[in-house]
A and B are shown apart, each in its own frame.
Chain A
């Protein structure tokens, strides 16, 4: 009798879980239909890899908004003579990822980050610039997706310092935030209102 009761309880909970899962699946499909932009989730995933993918996707979308907001003739713009142009800030941001792909993900970067800022097509062509920058985010996101929680905690060496892989990824994230942040002022100086902050 007791055994039967246990089996029944197991069945009921399995049913509840599968109902919940299909509801989530349905909700995701529905929200996916509401336009191209993915809605911010009401809850950040507890799964570490999924949470990182969500953060990097948000960062990519945010940078895309900056690129979209800058007029074509603003790609070569710089607020003072001794700093990077808008386009070069963006290329440097992408190059920052490529500096870290070897130590963090163990793969060769598709470009030499030191030479990227000199690539002529990235100095004035907004479409080419946008593609290069978006591709660099896609590469990072694809590499993160290949990791698991144990790989995230694994110790690697970056800048001569031993650190968990997820800390190194956080530094790559910080680097792009730092440079995208700088370009806010470039937009303002071109009379463009910067995209609102996308922290979630």
Chain B
């Protein structure tokens, strides 16, 4: 009798978990439809009136916002601005963006435990002749991070791994990656200005 009860409880909880997953999956598909990657930035999702309360949801929200913001930078730079550099000894606009993308893969690989599909030389600037090619690579690096974060849970986020600065929680590595992309996107603000383009406003919401 007791065993049967246990089995029943097991069944019910399995059902509940699978329903929850189904709901999440549905929600993701729906949100994916409204913020599709190739659509103009104007259709990007409006900020929620309330922040997600779970740590994974919060990180996904922040990285999605970061992705949309970087996309606006890419959209605003004219095609002939990819090779612009502010001085001879700094990265071009495309090199800044590719540096950001390769680092996103690096931090996502370290922080979320996925294997990056790209070798280091995949980010060489001479491989990206058009803004479309560049944008694809950069935005996919955000997708790689976001899908990696979604595969984690709160306990995994707190798990310590060997990082560049010693033993670091996964969420610290992910946050350092966030700071890194903010730092380099920030630099390219000046490149836009030097091309006479008004940079996108800051979407901190």
Contact = CB atoms under 8 A, between A and B. Distances in A.
A188 B91 CA distance: 11
Nearest to B184: A181
A11 B37 CA distance: 61
Interface in B49-90: 49-51, 53, 58, 62, 86-87, 89-90
A51 B160 CA distance: 14
Q: Which of A82, A179, A200 has most chain B Cβ within 10 Å?
A: A200
A180 B190 CA distance: 12
B42 interface: no
A186 interface: yes
A177 interface: yes
B116 interface: no
A83 B164 contact: no
30 contacts: A41-B165, A42-B165, A42-B167, A43-B167, A44-B165, A44-B172, A83-B193, A159-B205, A160-B49, A160-B205, A161-B47, A162-B51, A167-B51, A170-B62, A170-B175, A174-B179, A177-B182, A177-B183, A181-B183, A181-B185, A181-B187, A181-B189, A182-B189, A185-B90, A188-B87, A189-B87, A197-B180, A199-B164, A199-B176, A200-B176
Q: Which 4 residue pairs across A and B have the least CB separation, nearest first? A: A181-B186, A200-B165, A163-B51, A42-B166
